[in-house]
Amino acid sequence: MEALTGWWDDFFWGSKVVAEVFIASLGLTILFGLIGAAAKLSNSKIAKKLAAAYTVIFRGTPEILVILLFYFGLAITITSIAKIFDPTVKFIDIPPFWSGTFAISLIVGSYATETFRGAFLGVNQGSIEAAKALGMSQLQLFIYIRIPEMWRIALPPFGNHMLSLVKDTALISVIGLNETLFVAKQAITVTGKPFTMYIFVGIIYLGFSSIITLTVIAVERYGKRTTTVK
Amino acid sequence: MTNEQNDPLIRISNVNKFFGDFQALKNINLKVYKGERIVICGPSGSGKSTLIRCMNRLESHNDGQIVIEGNELTDDIRDINAVRREVGMVFQSFNLFPHMTVLKNLIIAQRLVRKTSKKDAIEIAMNLLERVKIPEQANKYPIQLSGGQQQRVAIARALCMKPKIILFDEPTSALDPEMINEVLDVMIDLANDGMTMICVTHEMGFARSVADKVIFMDEGEIIEAAKPKDFFDNPKNERTKQFLKQILTH
Amino acid sequence: MNIDLNLIVESIPEMLSGFGTTLYLLIISGFLGLLLAILLLLMRISGKFYLDFPAQIYIYIFRGTPILVQIFIIYYGLPQFEYIQDSMFWIILREPTGCAILALTLNTGAYVSEILRGGVLAVNRGLIEAGSALGMNARHRFIYITTPIAIRIALPSYSNDVVSLLKSTALASTITITDMTGIARTIVSKTYAPYEIFVSLAIVYMICTFIIQKFFGFIENKMSNYTKIDSDNDK
């Protein structure tokens, strides 16, 4: 335990990074998931095919590979593009925070696409027909009928997606993101106590997972307040 | 036509049943003799299903005694299994095992519980399928059968175990109207053969023509019990009269 | 930006040499993980607190922490203790492959046990009651009624977990194992062509995923025969 002395600060900042990645990727994941679901539910053949390709690619490729690909590949692409505009550019580095966040958002977003799609399809047809019969516009229908029912259906599986996001953050350490696992590696070279450090990282991530799980349970309860009979 | 000289096959004394704070059965006393056909009726929530489910320990009673064929129903698993071997049950939603053919549905319990040989089990099963008039369905899966056919298979399945008593829990309530009679016919046939039956049902025609005794339950209590003629033509209790008025006028 | 197709073509055989390792990790961990999952499932549904609770804790820990951390704890962390090095397990734990299989097994076991539990809980209660009413004891009911139906219900989720396991094997590359990802990373560090190499690697994984999904789709079809009204079962 004493091995941790002096490292508390670093682990704290590492945890902060985990939280930041989570928030950023959560927003992007929801965005990608909604776009994907919309594409799959739309009438456009092209949109459906693109969305299908999206889910197949990102559900079939290991997360670590996507992260590596984005980190190295994206840097090369952007550098090439930048060279077109400014030939003196040597290399553009994409910070691991953003390439990692983007990568895991795309991955979990592909799962979220399926979850959201299923949730939208699960909305009670009767409610929709009643709303149309009452003359509600498509937008009103979407905001007042579809969304409220849909998020309640999507919540349990989406909770699992959020857990995936948190845990995938550890993978971004591989490309140099200074979250907790990365900090642990540094601590080990100094203290020589790999078990202690990695267990501590595990505890930190377990903490994040627990917070997310408890939050999801609380939100589920809130959702049930108005939709179930007491 | 009851055997009142012998001991009752089922004796229920002072039985109470609670679900948490809610009392589902209040001081139930009932005797059923061999060969009797009992119909239990009453509004939803009156405890009729709970009562018969207590008779084969699908529910457990909190107070009182339930004695079936001399075996008292307790928490002891041997007592429970001894009772379940002699008491058959037919469910409202049939509950046929969907992953087994009709034939397999009929023989599985015979082989596992009675340890009957496969050959004998099949013979018994086919005989009963003939009796419920669907022997040609033996190798179909339940999903391929109509509701009425499934329920007849369910009755045959219960009969394969050669029970002394059969409990029916609203056997026709989940059936489309045109299929109700094919199931009732099987039940009448069974009754005529002398099977002891306790039937929770809303089918008053069946009660009137087949039952030896009709029992009315409300809010967990037995309100009235009488022969069909007396029950339908001369109900004594106010609540019974209310109930009959509600269900007999459509 | 040039895409060096030659490089892709040359590298594919080299990467595929790692396929055997990937497959090996997948099958061994998958099998052992399934055994572990069944054990955990039985503990969870036993109704006995002293079995249920430890199983819950185990599942909570292994589903709540990143698998990479679990791999590192086993591979880098355990050697910290001398008595591990002296014990009989050291033969397994000394090798990165053994550590990877252990970590993957422990991890997938936790996930699959919950999948199996979901299947068991989804079995219609009425069917169990029918079994009870016929006099079948708890063991009979579990073997002949619950298990066949639960497996069919759990199969789609299970196939997803097998795909996840395949993707997790790529993490073995972080502890020097030369699976497909490990070899690819080596090639990239030599040729500085991440795009070509990683994209082809991704394609290989996607093909493997496709094969797994087709395989399970086939099994699901066979098992769901009895749920279709016009099955080819009529004699």
Query: Is B20 strand, coil or helix?
Result: coil
Query: What is the band of B250 on the pLDDT scale with cuts at 50, 70, 90?
Result: low
Neighbours of chain C (3+ CB pairs under 8 A): A, B
| Inter-chain touch B97–C124, beta carbons under 8 Å | no
Neighbours of chain A (3+ CB pairs under 8 A): C
| Inter-chain touch B141–C135, beta carbons under 8 Å | no
Please give the pLDDT value at position C231.
Answer: 56
Asked whether C142 and A38 are in contact (CB, 8 A), the reply is: no
Please give the pLDDT value at position A229.
Answer: 67
The per-residue pLDDT for range B26-67, each reduced to its tens digit, is 999 999 999 999 999 999 889 999 999 999 999 999 999 999
Question: Domain range spanning residue C170?
Answer: 5-234
Please give the pLDDT value at position C3.
Answer: 64
| Inter-chain touch A205–C65, beta carbons under 8 Å | yes
Which chain C residues are Cβ-neighbours of B58 within 8 angstroms? Answer: 129, 132-133
**Distances B103 to A55, B121, C12, C89 between C-alpha atoms, Å:** 44, 10, 55, 52
Chains A and B lie in contact, requiring 3 or more CB pairs less than 8 Å apart: no
Please give the pLDDT value at position B1.
Answer: 47
CA angle C44, C46, C48 (to 5 degrees): 95
User: How does C15-40 read in b/e, with b if 16+ C-beta sit within 10 Å?
Assistant: beebeebbeebbeebbebbbebbeeb
Strand-pairing partners, residue C168, are none
> How far, in Å, CA of A93 to CA of C230, rounded?
60
Phi then psi for residue B213, to 5 deg, are -145, 135
For chain B, what is the mean pLDDT?
92
Which residues lie below 8 Å from residue B144, measured CB to CB, with a gap of 6+?
A: B137, C229, C230, C231, C233, C234
Strand-pairing partners, residue B16, are B63
Please give the pLDDT value at position C232.
Answer: 54
Which chain B residues are Cβ-neighbours of C127 within 8 angstroms? Answer: 95, 97-98
Phi then psi for residue B16, to 5 deg, are -120, 145
| Inter-chain touch C61–A206, beta carbons under 8 Å | yes
Query: Is B216 strand, coil or helix?
Result: strand
Has residue B103 got a pLDDT over 80?
yes
Range of weakest confidence among A51-60, C5-14, C107-116, C167-176: C5-14
> Does A76 contact chain C (CB < 8 Å)?
yes
| Inter-chain touch A72–C61, beta carbons under 8 Å | no
**Given strand B10-19, what is the order of strands in its sheet?**
B22-32, B10-19, B63-68, B71-72
- Across the range B187-197, mean pLDDT stands at 94
Query: Is C178 strand, coil or helix?
Result: coil
Which chain A residues are Cβ-neighbours of C70 within 8 angstroms? Answer: 202
Phi then psi for residue B235, to 5 deg, are -65, 140
For chain A, which residues make up each domain, given as ranges?
2-223
The per-residue pLDDT for range B121-146, each reduced to its tens digit, is 999 999 999 999 999 999 999 999 99
Closest CB to C136 among B56, B109, B144 = B109
Q: Count other C-beta atoms under 10 Å from residue B129's C-beta.
A: 22
Q: For chain A, give me the number of helices (H) and strands (E)?
A: 10, 0
Please give the pLDDT value at position A224.
Answer: 86
Closest CA to B45 of B224, B243, B238, B218: B218
> How far, in Å, CA of C173 to CA of C18, rounded?
10
| Inter-chain touch A170–C205, beta carbons under 8 Å | no
Which chain B residues are Cβ-neighbours of C226 within 8 angstroms? Answer: 98-100, 141-143
DSSP-derived secondary structure for A37-78? HHHHHSS-HHHHHHHHHHHHHHHHS-HHHHHHIIIIIHHHHH
CA angle A89, A93, A96 (to 5 degrees): 170
Residue type, position A183, single letter: V
Nearest residue on chain A to C201, alpha-carbon basis = A65
Token pair listed for C99: 């550590």
Residue type, position B60, single letter: S
Has residue C8 got a pLDDT over 60?
yes
Shortest alpha-carbon distance between residue C16 and chain A (Å): 16
Q: Please identify among residues 162-181 of chain A the ones whose CB lies closer than 8 Å to any CB of chain C.
A: 163, 167-171, 173-174, 181
Closest CA to B48 of B159, B210, B201: B201
> How far, in Å, CA of C215 to CA of C222, rounded?
11
Please give the pLDDT value at position A89.
Answer: 67
Which residues lie below 8 Å from residue B196, measured CB to CB, with a gap of 6+?
A: B9, B32, B33, B34, B35, B36, B37, B164, B165, B166
pLDDT tens for chain A, 230 residues: list them. Answer: 677 778 888 899 999 999 999 999 999 999 999 999 999 998 999 999 999 999 999 999 999 999 998 888 777 777 777 777 777 766 667 788 998 999 999 999 999 999 999 999 999 888 899 999 988 898 988 999 899 989 999 999 999 999 999 999 999 999 888 899 999 988 888 888 889 899 999 999 999 999 999 999 999 999 888 777 65
DSSP state of B225: E
The per-residue pLDDT for range B58-88, each reduced to its tens digit, is 999 999 999 998 888 888 888 888 889 889 9
Query: What is the band of C83 on the pLDDT scale with cuts at 50, 70, 90?
Result: confident
> How far, in Å, CA of B96 to CA of B112, rounded?
17
Asked whether B87 and B110 are in contact (CB, 8 A), the reply is: no
Has residue C34 got a pLDDT over 70?
yes
Please give the pLDDT value at position C2.
Answer: 57
Neighbours of chain B (3+ CB pairs under 8 A): C
Nearest residue on chain C to A195, alpha-carbon basis = C77
- Across the range B109-121, mean pLDDT stands at 94
> How far, in Å, CA of A7 to CA of A197, rounded?
10
Interface test with C, best of B60, B96, B112 (most C CBs within 10 A): B112
Which chain C residues are Cβ-neighbours of A205 within 8 angstroms? Answer: 64-66, 69
Please give the pLDDT value at position A192.
Answer: 86
| Inter-chain touch B143–C228, beta carbons under 8 Å | yes
Which chain C residues are Cβ-neighbours of A68 within 8 angstroms? Answer: 185, 194, 198
Query: What is the band of C85 on the pLDDT scale with cuts at 50, 70, 90?
Result: confident
Nearest residue on chain A to C172, alpha-carbon basis = A64
Radius of gyration of chain C (CA): 22
Which chain B residues are Cβ-neighbours of C132 within 8 angstroms? Answer: 56-58, 84
- In this prediction the pTM is 0.87
Q: Please identify among residues 20-79 of chain B the ones whose CB lies closer than 8 Å to any CB of chain C.
A: 56-58, 77
Phi then psi for residue B73, to 5 deg, are -80, 110
Domain A2-223's class?
Answer: mainly alpha
Closest CA to A178 of A69, A100, A108, A74: A100
> How far, in Å, CA of A202 to CA of A167, rounded?
10
Share of chain B above pLDDT 70, in %: 97
Read off the CATH number of the domain in which C108 is found: 1.10.3720.10
| Inter-chain touch A62–C163, beta carbons under 8 Å | no
Asked whether A63 and A174 are in contact (CB, 8 A), the reply is: no
- Provide the ipTM: 0.88
Closest CB to C202 among A69, A76, A173 = A69
Residue type, position B181, single letter: N
Q: Please count the structural domains in chain C.
A: 1
| Inter-chain touch B98–C226, beta carbons under 8 Å | yes
